[in-house]
C-alpha cells in the first residue's frame, strides 16, 4: 500500500509577509532595541513529504490545540496537504501573532495570521521565577529544549505555556470565519519550526530569546546574592585582604580534568576460556564466552552513548526483566546450543520467543512491550488515534476498512494490522502461520506502517 502524493510541476514560491531572510535558508532575527517589539522571520521550509510535522512533545501539543479547535476536519486535511507541498511562504513570528502568505493550488496568495494571547506582566513574573527556581530548566532552555516538568511547574502557578482549545485564533485573507486551509497550513508549518526552537513559542507569548535570557541571568544573580550572609554574625570567617600577585601565580592550581576517553570503534575481544584444564563441574565455557562477548558489545555501546551530546540530560533506561534480557541475548545470535538453552529456560514456547526476538530487532524493549501489551485507550487517546487514522490517507487514496480491538486496528480481509503504542507511535504487524508477527519499526504515520514490506524470511 503506497501513499499517493501530488507533485506540482512548479514549486510554490517562498513569498512571505516580509523579508524571508538571507539565502542561507534559516531565519532572520530583528533586534528588539529601544522598546522595539521582537520579531523573527523564517525562510520558507521545503516540502515535508514522508515525515510528520512535529516530533517534540511541545510541537505535538501545538498541533493538538489546532486539531481540537478547528470545527472542520476537511479544512485541516487540506491545510496539512498544502503545508506538505510547500505552499507556506516565509513565516514571521512576533508577540501574539504569526503571519505568512499561503498559496492555493491555483497559486492565489492569501495572507494568513494565527493569533495567540501574550502573557501579562504578572504571568511573565511567575514564569520567570519558576524557571530560575530550577537550574535544570535554565539548562534545558539554553539547549533549546522544553522539558515537560517546566510546563507542569508553570501550570502550577497559573501560566499555561502551550495553547489549548480555542487559543489559536485564525485570521485570513480568504475571509473564512474558522480555521481555513491557509491558517491550518500555517499552523502545521509552525510545528516544524517549534520542533527546532521552543523560543518561537515564547516569542509568541511576548518575549524574545535575548530579552528572556538576559532577564534570567539578572534574576539568577539576584537570587544568588540573596543567599549571601548579611550580618557579621552570619558571615564566614574573615578572608585575608590578599596576597602578592607573585605568590598567587606561583601557587599550584587545581589539577585539570582528564580528557574524556576516546570512542571505541569496535567491541573488545573477550579472552578465550578453553584451555588445557578441564572446567569446573557445571560451568558452560561456551556460554561464558558468549556472555563475555555480549558484555564487550554493551560496553562499547554505553561508552558511545556517554560521549554523545546531551547524554547528561538523557533519562536512565529501566533495568531489563529476565524475559527481556533473554530476548535480547537471543536476538544477539548466540551459538545453537546456547540459543536452545535460552529457549528451554525462558518458560515460553519457541514461537513466542521467535516473535519476541523479531520485535526486539525492530525496536528493543519498546517493541516487545507493544507485542505483549494489549490495552484499551482512554477516550482522549482514542480520539487522537482515530484522528491520525482519518488523516493518514490523502483524498485520492482508497482508505482501508479497519476493525479496532483495544489498541489494535486490523485491515478487514487482509493479514495487516497496526498497533498503537502508549507513546503515540504505530507499529506494523502481519499475520504469519496463524499468529500476528511484528513487521517493522514504529512510525507516526499509520498508513506508512501498513505499507511495510511483506513477511520477513
Residue 250 within any structural domain of the chain:
no
Same domain, 74 and 31: yes
* Per-residue pLDDT reduced to its tens digit, 178-231: 899 999 999 999 999 998 899 999 999 999 988 888 888 888 887 777 665 555
Range of the domain at 347: 322-372
Last residue of a domain, one of 164, 191, 222: 222
Residue 11 within any structural domain of the chain:
no
* Per-residue pLDDT reduced to its tens digit, 104-157: 988 899 999 999 999 999 999 999 988 888 877 888 888 888 888 888 888 988
Mean pLDDT of all residues belonging to the chain: 82
Residue 437 within any structural domain of the chain:
yes
Residue 133 within any structural domain of the chain:
yes
Same domain, 192 and 329: no
Same domain, 101 and 204: yes
Asked if pLDDT for residue 372 goes beyond 50, the answer is: yes
Same domain, 31 and 169: yes
Same domain, 200 and 83: yes
Return the ∠ at Cα 77 (arms to 73 and 83), rounded to 5°: 140
* Per-residue pLDDT reduced to its tens digit, 416-457: 999 999 989 999 999 998 999 999 998 888 888 888 665 543
Residue 50 within any structural domain of the chain:
yes
As a whole-number percent, the residues of the chain with pLDDT over 70 amount to 85
Residue 232 within any structural domain of the chain:
no
Amino acid 286: pLDDT: 83
Same domain, 91 and 67: yes
Same domain, 397 and 329: no
Last residue of a domain, one of 176, 194, 222: 222
Same domain, 347 and 439: no
Amino acid 144: pLDDT: 87
Residue 368 within any structural domain of the chain:
yes
pTM, 2 dp: 0.47
Amino acid 358: pLDDT: 94
Same domain, 87 and 197: yes
Asked if pLDDT for residue 255 goes beyond 50, the answer is: yes
Amino acid 239: pLDDT: 60
Amino acid 454: pLDDT: 53
Number of domains in the chain: 3
Give 402's pLDDT tier (boundaries 50, 70, 90): very high
Last residue of a domain, one of 180, 196, 222: 222
Averaged pLDDT, 357-366: 93
As a whole-number percent, the residues of the chain with pLDDT over 90 amount to 36
Same domain, 365 and 383: no
Same domain, 165 and 43: yes
Averaged pLDDT, 386-408: 86
Least confident interval from 239-243, 301-305, 408-412: 239-243
Amino acid 22: pLDDT: 37
* Per-residue pLDDT reduced to its tens digit, 3-54: 333 223 333 444 444 433 333 334 444 544 445 678 999 999 888 766 678 8
Same domain, 360 and 414: no
Amino acid at each position: 500500500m503506497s501513499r499517493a502524493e501530488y507533485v506540482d510541476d512548479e514549486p510554490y514560491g517562498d513569498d512571505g509577509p516580509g523579508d524571508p531572510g538571507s539565502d542561507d535558508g534559516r531565519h532572520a532575527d530583528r533586534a528588539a532595541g529601544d522598546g522595539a517589539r521582537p520579531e523573527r522571520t523564517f525562510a520558507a521550509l521545503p516540502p515535508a513529504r514522508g515525515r510528520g510535522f512535529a516530533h517534540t512533545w511541545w510541537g505535538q501539543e501545538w498541533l493538538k490545540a489546532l486539531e481540537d479547535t478547528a470545527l472542520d476536519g476537511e479544512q485541516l486535511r487540506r491545510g496539512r496537504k498544502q503545508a506538505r507541498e510547500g505552499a507556506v511562504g516565509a513565516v514571521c513570528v512576533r508577540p501574539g501573532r504569526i503571519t505568512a502568505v499561503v498559496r492555493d493550488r491555483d497559486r492565489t496568495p492569501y495572507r494568513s495570521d494565527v493569533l495567540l494571547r501574550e502573557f501579562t506582566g504578572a504571568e511573565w513574573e511567575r514564569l520567570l521565577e519558576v524557571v530560575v527556581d530550577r537550574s535544570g530548566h535554565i539548562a534545558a532552555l539554553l539547549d533549546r529544549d522544553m522539558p515537560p516538568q517546566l510546563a507542569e511547574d508553570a501550570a502550577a502557578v497559573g501560566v499555561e505555556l502551550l495553547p489549548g482549545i480555542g487559543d489559536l485564533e485564525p485570521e485570513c485573507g480568504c475571509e473564512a470565519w474558522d480555521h481555513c486551509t491557509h491558517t491550518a497550513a500555517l499552523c502545521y508549518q509552525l510545528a516544524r519550526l517549534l520542533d527546532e526552537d521552543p523560543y518561537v513559542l515564547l516569542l509568541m507569548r511576548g518575549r524574545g530569546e535575548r530579552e528572556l535570557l538576559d532577564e534570567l541571568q539578572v534574576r539568577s544573580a539576584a537570587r544568588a546574592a540573596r543567599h549571601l550572609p548579611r550580618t557579621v554574625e552570619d558571615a564566614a570567617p574573615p578572608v585575608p585582604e590578599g596576597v602578592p600577585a607573585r605568590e598567587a601565580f606561583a601557587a599550584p592550581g587545581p589539577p585539570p580534568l582528564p580528557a574524556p576517553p576516546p570512542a571505541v570503534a569496535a567491541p573488545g575481544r573477550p579472552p578465550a576460556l578453553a584451555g588445557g584444564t578441564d572446567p569446573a563441574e557445571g560451568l558452560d565455557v561456551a556460554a561464558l564466552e558468549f556472555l563475555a562477548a555480549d558484555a564487550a558489545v554493551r560496553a562499547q555501546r554505553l561508552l558511545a552513548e556517554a560521549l554523545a551530546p546531551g547524554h547528561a540530560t538523557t533519562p536512565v533506561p529501566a533495568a531489563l526483566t529476565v524475559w527481556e534480557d533473554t530476548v535480547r541475548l537471543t536476538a544477539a545470535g548466540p551459538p545453537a546450543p546456547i540459543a536452545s538453552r535460552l529457549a528451554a529456560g525462558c518458560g515460553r514456547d519457541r514461537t513466542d520467543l521467535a516473535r519476541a526476538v523479531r520485535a526486539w530487532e525492530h525496536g528493543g524493549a519498546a517493541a516487545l512491550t507493544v507485542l505483549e501489551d494489549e490495552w484499551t485507550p482512554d477516550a482522549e487517546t482514542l480520539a487522537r488515534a482515530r484522528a491520525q487514522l482519518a488523516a493518514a490517507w490523502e483524498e485520492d487514496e482508497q482508505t482501508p476498512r479497519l476493525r479496532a480491538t483495544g489498541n489494535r486496528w486490523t485491515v478487514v480481509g487482509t493479514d495487516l494490522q497496526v498497533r498503537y503504542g502508549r507513546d503515540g507511535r504505530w507499529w506494523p504487524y502481519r499475520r504469519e502461520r496463524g499468529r500476528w508477527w511484528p513487521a517493522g519499526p514504529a512510525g507516526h504515520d499509520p498508513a506508512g506502517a501498513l505499507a511495510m514490506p511483506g513477511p520477513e524470511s
